[in-house]
Amino acid sequence: MSNKIYIFDTTLRDGEQVPGCQLNTIEKIEVAKQLEKLGVDVIEAGFPISSPGDFNSVVEISKAVSNPTICALTRAVKKDIEVAAEALKFAKRGRIHTGIGTSPYHIYQKLNSNPEEIIERAVAAVKYARQFVDDVEFYAEDAGRSENEYLARVIEAVIAAGATVVNIPDTTGYCLPKEYGEKIAYLVNHVPNIDRAIISTHCHNDLGMATANTLAGIVNGARQVEVTLNGLGERAGNTALEEVVMALRSHKDLDYETGVDTKQIIKTSKLVSTLMRMPVQANKAIVGRNAFAHSSGIHQDGVLKNRETYEIIDPADVGVKESSIVLTARSGRAALKHRLEVLGYKLDKDKLDHVYKNFLVLADSKKDISDEDIEVLVGHEKKEERVLKLDNFQVICGKSCIPSATVTINHNGTIMTHNAIGNGPVDAAFSAIKTMLQVEDAVLEEYLVQAVTRGSSEIGKVHIQLSKDGRTVHGFGANVDILTASVWAYLDALSKII
C-alpha cells in the first residue's frame, strides 16, 4: 500500500458552511490559488446546484488553478450531477463527489427509504457521474454511525459501478479513534474490490476527535484525508489540515508523506481567517498565535537553551519566523536578559537584577510586557543613576477634596519628604518637590503625556521641559501609572539642573 496521503481540502465547501464565513467568487479564487501553493491534491470548490454563486465559483476556480484536482459536490440526484459536470467543464482534472446517507438515521428517517434502495441509488449516481468524468468519489454520509457489514456492501457496489475514491465520513463527529480506525480496517479486509479505490476520511469535530479519528483512519488504510484550514466546518468544524499534516511530519516513524509545502501553512491560515472573518483561537494547534509562545520562566529557560526542550515542531517549518518569548510576571531573568540582548542591551548582573525587579513590578500590573516597555525599564535604570531618585509618593484627590501629594525622594543618599496641595494631583506633587528642593523658580514650560502602547493598562510616557536661570532641560518618565511617570520625569529634569 502506498505511503502517499492525498490532501483533499474542503475549506471552500464544508468550511464555507460556517455561519458568517461565506466568500464571494473573487475571494474563493484567492484562497484556491493559495491552496495550490500550499500543495493540496484536491480542492472541493463548492456545491454547484446549491446556488448560481457556487456554480460560478466552481467554474472560475477550475480556470484559475492548474495542479490540484477540482471537485464538485452533489447529492445522488441526476440533476445535481449534470450541473456539477457543467461547472467542471474547464477543470484540467475534474472530480464529481456524489453520495447518500447509509446510517439507519438517514435511511429510515431522513430519506424515508430502505437499505436495498439506497444501494441502488448509490450505484446509479456513480454510474451516471462516470458518464461525465473519470474521477468519481462516493460519500457514505453518516458512515460513522452506519453498520459495518452494510457499509461494506455499499462500498463494494459503488466501486464496482466506477467509484475511484470512497469517502467514509464521521458526519456527526460521533466516533472514537479506535472505533473509526476499526471501521476503516473492516472495509480494507471485507470489501473484495477495495484495492480499486482510495479510501478517504472526512471527520467532524463534535467531540474534539476529528484529527485523532483521521490519523486512526490513515493507520488503518485510508490514503486520502478531507480537511479544512483552521478546522473550519459545520458545527464544531472539520479535521484541521495543519494538524494532520504536521502530525504526520512530526511522527516520521509512521512513514507517510504529503505534498504539502508546510512553510505555507501560516500564510494560508491567515488568509482564510481574514477572508472568512473567523479569528483563530489563540491556543489553536499549529496556527494559533500562542502555538509557539512561551511565558513560563521554566519553559523560556529551556527553549532558549535548546528549542526541542519544549517544542516538537520548528516554527520555521510552518512559516513562523521564530518562537515567541512572551514576557509576563512568570518570566525569569533568562528570558528578560535574552530580550534585552535582542534589543541591543547588555547589562551587568547588578543592573540586570535591578531592571528585573522593576520588570516584575510592572508585569504584575500588565498582562504582558512589550519591547517598548523594556526600553522604558532600561531607560529608568539609567535614570536611577541621577542625583534625585523617587523613593515614594502618594496623592489624595477627588471631586470633593483639595488635591494633595506627599513625596519622598532620595537626594544623594539623603531621604527627604514633603507634602503640598495643588490644582490637581500632578501639580500638588510638583509643588511638594519644588518646595523640598528649594527650586521654586524652576518654570514648567511643557508637560506632555503620550501613550507608548495601547490600552488603559498600558504604559504612558511623560515629557517635561523646565527652565531655570536661562537654562532649559528636559525630563522623561514612563509607567503604567501616569502620576508616577510624571514625578519621574520631573525629577529627571531637576537632576540635570541640580
Give domain limits for the chain: 6-276, 293-378, 388-495
Specify the pLDDT at position 433: 92
> Over the Cα atoms of the chain, what is R_g?
33
For the domain bounded by 388-495, which CATH number is listed?
3.30.160.270
CB-based contacts of 23, cutoff 8 Å, min separation 6: 12, 16, 31, 275, 276
Superfamily of domain 6-276: Aldolase class I (3.20.20.70)
Annotated binding residues, written as ranges, equal: 14, 202, 204, 238
Beta-carbon contacts of residue 113 (< 8 Å; ≥ 6 apart): 107, 121
Give pLDDT, residue 459: 67
The dihedral formed by the CA atoms of 384, 387, 391 and 395, expressed in degrees to the nearest 10: -110
> CA 185 to CA 215: how far, in whole Å?
13
- Binding site per annotation, positions for Mn(2+): 14, 202, 204, 238
At 383 the pLDDT is: 47
pLDDT of residue 100: 98
Question: For the chain (length 498 residues), average pLDDT per consecutive 10?
Answer: 92 91 94 98 97 96 97 98 98 98 96 97 98 98 98 98 98 98 98 98 98 98 98 96 97 94 96 93 89 68 68 83 67 79 78 81 71 68 66 88 92 90 92 91 86 60 84 78 88 83
- Give me 216's grid cell: 486512526
